[in-house]
């Protein structure tokens, strides 16, 4: 089975480190790729869109990030998502408890779920576990 790739798109270094450590402590072979802004993450996805082995299985996406916020990232990704060799599960993360943000995330066709911050690390474990047992997306 292929290794799982999880992207963390968040400008908070401490948050990325905590999520990365939680992923690394799991028993599953998983590579983490980190970005501090949406623009860099989108460029990486576009560059690798035809190579399923290089695309993430899961993306943790903060909506309040610099250069290109999470909503703009999703809007741009939607333009080429159908051409991607693999469709990642995208979890929107936010400190915002604004009902509009939650509903917008839950209704977006590319978004798998909304996770409020602070994230419980058990949620990260559950998502990594589900990718292991229920297969890779695509």
pLDDT in tens, 8-45: 999 999 999 988 988 887 777 889 999 999 999 999 99
- In this prediction, residue 138 has a pLDDT band, given cuts at 50, 70 and 90, of very low
What is the C-alpha separation between 63 and 95, in angstroms, rounded?
9
Q: The tokens of 134 are what? A: 């229920």
- Range among 66-70, 115-119, 124-128 rated most confident: 66-70
- Which class is domain 4-134? alpha beta
**How distant is the alpha carbon of residue 93 from its chain centre?**
9
Q: Between β-strands 58-62 and 4-9, what pairing exists: parallel, antiparallel or unpaired?
A: parallel
Cα angle for residues 104, 21, 47 (degrees, 5° grid)? 60
Within 10 Å of residue 7's Cβ, how many Cβ atoms?
A: 22
pLDDT higher at 125 or 109 = 109
């Amino acid at each position: 089975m292929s290794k799982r790739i999880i992207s963390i798109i968040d400008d908070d270094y401490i948050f990325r480190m905590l999520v990365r450590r939680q992923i690394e402590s799991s028993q599953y072979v998983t590579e983490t790729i980190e970005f501090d802004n949406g623009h860099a993450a989108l460029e990486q996805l576009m560059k690798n869109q035809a190579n399923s082995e290089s695309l993430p299985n899961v993306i943790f996406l903060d909506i309040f990030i610099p250069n290109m916020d999470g909503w703009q990232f999703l809007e741009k990704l939607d333009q080429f998502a159908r051409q991607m060799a693999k469709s990642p599960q995208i979890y929107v993360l936010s400190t915002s408890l604004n009902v509009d943000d939650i509903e917008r995330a839950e209704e977006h066709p590319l978004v798998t779920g909304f996770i409020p911050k602070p994230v419980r690390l058990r949620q990260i474990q559950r998502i990594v576990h589900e990718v292991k047992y229920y297969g890779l997306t695509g």
